[in-house]
Chains A and B, each alone.
Chain A
Amino acid sequence: MAAGVAAWLPFARAAAIGWMPVASTPMPIPPQDKRKGQDGFIILNVSGTKFQTWRTTLERYPDTLLGSTERDFFFHEETSEYFFDRDPDIFRHILNFYRTGKLHYPRQECISAYDEELAFFGIIPEIIGDCCYEEYKDRRRENAERLQDDEEMDMSNDVTPVNLTFREYLWRAFENPHTSTLALVFYYVTGFFIAISVMANVVETVPCGTLPNRSKEVSCGERYALAFFCLDTACVMIFTVEYLLRLIAAPSRCKFMKSVMSVIDVVAIMPYYIGLVMTDNDQVSGAFVTLRVFRVFRIFKFSRHSAGLRILGYTLKSCASELGFLLFSLTMAIIIFATVMFYAEKGSTATKFTSIPAAFWYTIVTMTTLGF
């Protein structure tokens, strides 16, 4: 019940006269208001700024500090007022809450200071009015994220606790390369090999001149097949060792195996092993060639080395729903327009739109304004 409406209680009771003659039983006696002293002023001195209000205003919310007997602890005998050693600017809003029944959040105040004041005066933040609630919730969330980031940074800069098991030590070395020289060396070596592996993939496909007994140009991969194979083997060995070490050192193996980075690691080294297993079978070699495409995922292993790439990943993850919706609405539009195009050209014989999926390509190219 809003605070001001309480003043209309006599009116509501008086209106009960309406059903009194109609009632078949006598009316119950209205509850007596405890006459708790007169309707007097209360002076609140908050760090020198004096606020004055009626006693009844404060007593509207008896489960807060000012509305209950808890305020007597702050009563100052000599000046006959209640003294609080808190921020007067924020107190203004708290007092307004008693007066109007609505709690507002001022934009220029710091969210932590505001929360502290609310906690001190026993007011739960959930009653913030709709006008200010969005702002409050946003600021609170930003603050929580900032605190979390700070914590993580602090944790990583902690002084090394002495009694780490070998496993924990290994994990720390992997997660934060700056903890020891060995970790740093390992970090740079893996980075180097990732780069080598990606470059080898790229160079493999460059045409390298003709072989003596053939007229066709061959790619470098076919010409120096052995060299590239050795290089690939070396890289995959390093990656496998790294993956196994991480797996051993992980505090929670299940969680580690489900994490994105480990999936990328596995996808990066799988094609090589699969290739070892099925070199002789021609039927599946086509599929094997496709698998080699996955070697390009090794480039994503760089995200362990680059914070910027990780941030990009987080950004994509956090607006995944919006991107998903964009994709969905684009798909809807494509389907609609492809259908229209197909039926528009159905009558004509020399048309390329032989079916609706055939019209998809045209629609996509036109909608993305490429136009070829």
Chain B
Amino acid sequence: MTIVCHRPEGLDQLEAQTNFNKRELQVLYRGFKNECPSGVVSEETFKQIYSQFFPHGDASTYAHYLFNAFDTGHTGSIKFEDFVTALSILLRGTVTEKLQWTFNLYDINRDGYINKEEMTDIVRAIYDMMGKYTYPVLKTDAPKQHVDAFFQKMDKNRDGVVTLDEFIHSCQEDENIMRSLQLFENVI
């Protein structure tokens, strides 16, 4: 078994590239290194870590999609730079950047469009992760209803797929979504 060890770029460079200051980067890196001493996160480790936060359900599918979204270079493993870049966008980025990142997450095959199957997969993954303990208790066809409602809202020209612009526009019109996006500011 070859041990892959990766060291991130210098602290100064990372500080310049992301929206975190030095102290926050230090705290993030210490946590990262503790869990992944080799410096890279494999998909397995990623899934394990994520499952610990959601013990009630099966978080592996959603973790898989998340992993692909984090792993921008499609190398099969996440380095600290990828990790911190994604976190920087999610926690400190502009609204457009956040929405773009979310669109990327939903667009599983990276073709620039979200179609119904992709959306259904994502919604089902989320429901699996929530497990049996959602309130109110979800019915089995709830994912389908959810996806239909989503497409109703987002797909402006009714062509069956959602593009990036449609997505961003529709989200900006929705009060709830905008308010939720603001909540991520203070997470770290």
Contacts and interface: CB of A to CB of B under 8 A. Distances in A.
A29 B87 contact: no
Contact of A1 (B34, B52, B150, B188): B52
Nearest to A7: B31
B122 A18 contact: yes
A21 B102 contact: yes
A21 B171 contact: yes
Interface string B21-59: 000000110111011000000000000011011000000
Nearest to A99: B34
A31 to B, nearest CB: 10
B171 A13 contact: no
B108 interface: no
Contacts of A11: 83, 87
A20 B177 contact: yes
Interface string A204-239: 000000000000000000000000000000000000
B87 A4 contact: no
A170 to B, nearest CB: 63
A10 to B, nearest CB: 5
A14 B52 contact: no
A17 B184 contact: yes
Interface string A1-32: 11011111111111101111111111101101
Nearest to B167: A21
A5 B28 contact: no
B149 interface: yes
Contact of B183 (A6, A19, A27): A27
A19 to B, nearest CB: 5
A211 B90 CA distance: 114
Contacts of A9: 53
A138 interface: no
A5 B31 CA distance: 7
Given A18-B65, A21-B171, A22-B150, A7 B27 contact: yes
- Please indicate which of the listed interface residues A8, A9, A23 has the most CB atoms of chain B within 10 Å of its own CB: A8
A131 B66 CA distance: 33
A39 interface: yes
A10 B87 contact: yes
Contact of A18 (B28, B62, B150, B171): B62
A5 B35 contact: yes
A99 to B, nearest CB: 9
B184 A21 contact: no
Nearest to B188: A10
B179 interface: yes
A22 B126 contact: yes
Contact of A4 (B31, B174, B181, B187): B31
A8 B177 contact: no
Given A10-B187, A14-B90, A26 B105 contact: no
Nearest to A13: B187
A7 B34 contact: yes
Contacts of B187: 10, 13-14, 30
A25 B176 CA distance: 7
B180 A27 contact: yes
B87 to A, nearest CB: 6
Contacts of A10: 28, 87, 91, 187-188
Contacts of B86: 14
A7 B183 contact: no
Nearest to B102: A17
Contact of A20 (B52, B102, B188): B102
Contacts of B126: 18-19, 22
B149 A24 contact: yes
A4 B34 contact: yes
Nearest to B147: A22
Contact of A30 (B31, B34, B183): B183
A77 B74 CA distance: 55
**Counting chain B CB atoms within 10 Å of each CB, which of A20, A22, A25, A39 scores highest?**
A22
Interface string B80-104: 0001001100110000001001100
A26 B35 contact: no
A15 B179 CA distance: 16
B101 to A, nearest CB: 7
Interface in B161-188: 167, 171, 174, 176-177, 179-181, 183-184, 186-188
Given A13-B187, A21-B102, A7 B180 contact: no
Interface in B91-149: 91, 98, 101-102, 105-106, 122-123, 126, 146, 149
10 contacts: A4-B34, A8-B53, A10-B28, A10-B187, A14-B86, A20-B180, A21-B150, A21-B171, A21-B177, A22-B123
Top 9 closest pairs, chain A to chain B, by CB: A7-B31, A4-B34, A14-B90, A27-B180, A26-B176, A12-B53, A10-B188, A13-B187, A19-B126
